[in-house]
Amino acid sequence: MKNRFNRLTSKEWLPFQKSWFRYESDEKMLRENIRFFCKAEVVDDVFAYWGKDFKTAKKICDENEIVITPLDDVKTESIQFAVIDARGFIDSVSDKDDYITARKNIVNLAIKVYERIEHKRFLCILIPNRQIDNRYFPFAWDLAKNLSSVFSLKDEKIACTEMETNVQEERLFQPTKQLFYCLYFKKDDMTQGKFIESSVRYFENNKQLSPSSGFQNQIPSWFILKPQPRKKNEILHPAKYPEDLVIMFVSEFTSEGENVFDPMAGTGSTQLGALKLNRNGYGTELSEFFADIALSRCQDFMVAQQENLFAQQKEMSFKILHKDARNISPGDFPAMDYILTSPPYWDMLNMKGAENQAKRLTLGLQTNYSDSDKDLGNIVDYEEFVVSLTEIYFNIIELLKPGGYLTIVVKNIKKKGRNYPFAWDLSNALQERLILLPETFWCQDDISIAPYGYGNTWVSNTFHQYCLNFQKPI
């Protein structure tokens, strides 16, 4: 196929489509972006840059015969790609008001880009979320939401750095290592370049409390797992998470003997992981088929434990009810110390051709969770889906002890050319009753990359899952 978008070969194109990358240097990151988003032979169009390293950007453009201009000095040229490195703005922000001023400056720069950029070309903004004192500010999400009135928000990439987080107070939950977001916007027919303030309330309820027990702060802000090949009964489920993920989070947020809950148990990964760590595992699952698999996996583990003469015998228990999570009542379970869960990702499993659906079909495997209208994965309307899920979480946090933690594994969703920032929308809704803590990313490195949009435009392969962390106020 003819490549009308840039000059890259498919071999160079594909790795860029991964939605996360190991950040090594600004130079490498800029080079990859400039080469991907600029077509060098378009001599009249320029690359516009705003940030602290114009010299490096110029060197890369010179090497690739691309004309560069500083964004604050852009005049009559037409832009084919722009980068705003907003990390410098955020470094000097010390509270919400400072940020709102910084946001105004970033938005003004973006509007300048909008006025000159060619149709269907991209703007990339580099920006981190930040913990300041004991409050968490998801600046990147806020900027993306607000700026999506000006430009179409198309995609995101997570820049995963090896730099350590400066842990300010040991008793706060702070993932180690740092990361930042590369937000990608496109000029298309969906927006008119006018700024309209969004109604999101990310900064309203974000006071982080001191936990009752000390944190180990052992969870990195991004991690890669090497999941074991799934066993026969586990493959039957379309979307389970690995027990290694459960082990990591349950170890951080609970102690031995405590109670762990998952209202959408699937194959019982949360309960099994909890039992392996000498915690109790509880949950519900709508599908009888999967509830049975979850129960038998926990039972098998407990039997093997009892038969193992060398294992220390501990009194652990589990309970998984075949039930709609909407109908959980206070008498069903004891009070919980921690909730770890992952919902259906809207109705994505019903999308023919989505993700690995075709592969499952050829293997004769179930592609969705169920055909029940109570299954959240069968709700077609996005807003209704987010509201229904939020109601379930508000119901189950009644079980959570004050000060207890909740982790939700989710993805932002792309559907029919539109971006639905599900992780951010859910966080926003949950902040009405929960305290938002820093998110961590499960970066998947074991899936083959699909050449979406090859030769025409950029669409990433979403290989990063958000692990959203919250605390119930005391």
Ligand X SMILES: C[S@@+](CC[C@H](N)C(=O)[O-])C[C@H]1O[C@@H](n2cnc3c(N)ncnc32)[C@H](O)[C@@H]1O
- Write out the two tokens for 409: 């594994």
Nearer to ligand X, 430 or 435 (CB): 430
267 binds ligand X (CB under 6 A): yes
User: By C-alpha distance, which of 218, 141, 214, 226 is closest to 177?
Assistant: 218
- Let me know the angle formed at the C-alpha of 273 by 267 and 275, rounded to the nearest 5 degrees: 110
Nearer to ligand X, 263 or 438 (CB): 263
The stretch near ligand X (CB under 6 A) out of 105-113, 183-191, 199-207, 369-377 is: 369-377
The Cα 270–Cα 247 span in angstroms is 9
Nearer to ligand X, 58 or 326 (CB): 326
The stretch near ligand X (CB under 6 A) out of 173-181, 203-211, 318-326, 461-469 is: 318-326
264 binds ligand X (CB under 6 A): yes
Give the CA distances from residue 323 to residues 233, 263, 285, 332, 391, in Å, rounded to whole numbers and listed in that order: 20, 9, 6, 11, 16
The stretch near ligand X (CB under 6 A) out of 100-108, 211-219, 279-287, 440-448 is: 279-287
- Write out the two tokens for 452: 């979406």
In terms of residues, how long is the chain?
Answer: 474
Size of the site for ligand X (CB under 6 A): 26
Q: Which of 121, 130, 237, 279 binds ligand X (CB under 6 A)?
A: 237
Nearer to ligand X, 128 or 273 (CB): 273
Nearer to ligand X, 187 or 237 (CB): 237
462 binds ligand X (CB under 6 A): no
Residue nearest ligand X, CB atom distance: 266
Give the CA distances from residue 188 to residues 181, 184, 310, 410, 418, in Å, rounded to whole numbers and listed in that order: 22, 13, 64, 27, 12
The stretch near ligand X (CB under 6 A) out of 77-85, 131-139, 213-221, 366-374 is: 366-374
295 binds ligand X (CB under 6 A): no
376 binds ligand X (CB under 6 A): yes
The Cα 47–Cα 85 span in angstroms is 14
Helices 26-37 and 54-63: crossing angle in degrees, nearest 10, is 50
| Nearest-approach distance from CB 399 to ligand X, in angstroms | 14
- Write out the two tokens for 213: 């027990």
Which residues 6+ apart lie within 8 Å of 299 measured at CB?
Answer: none
Nearer to ligand X, 106 or 339 (CB): 339
Helices 422-430 and 139-147: crossing angle in degrees, nearest 10, is 110
Nearer to ligand X, 13 or 346 (CB): 346
Q: Are 51 and 72 in contact (CB under 8 A)?
A: no
Nearer to ligand X, 209 or 236 (CB): 236
284 binds ligand X (CB under 6 A): yes
- Residues lying near ligand X in the complex (CB under 6 A): 237, 239-241, 263-264, 266-267, 269, 284-287, 290, 324-326, 342-344, 369-370, 374-377
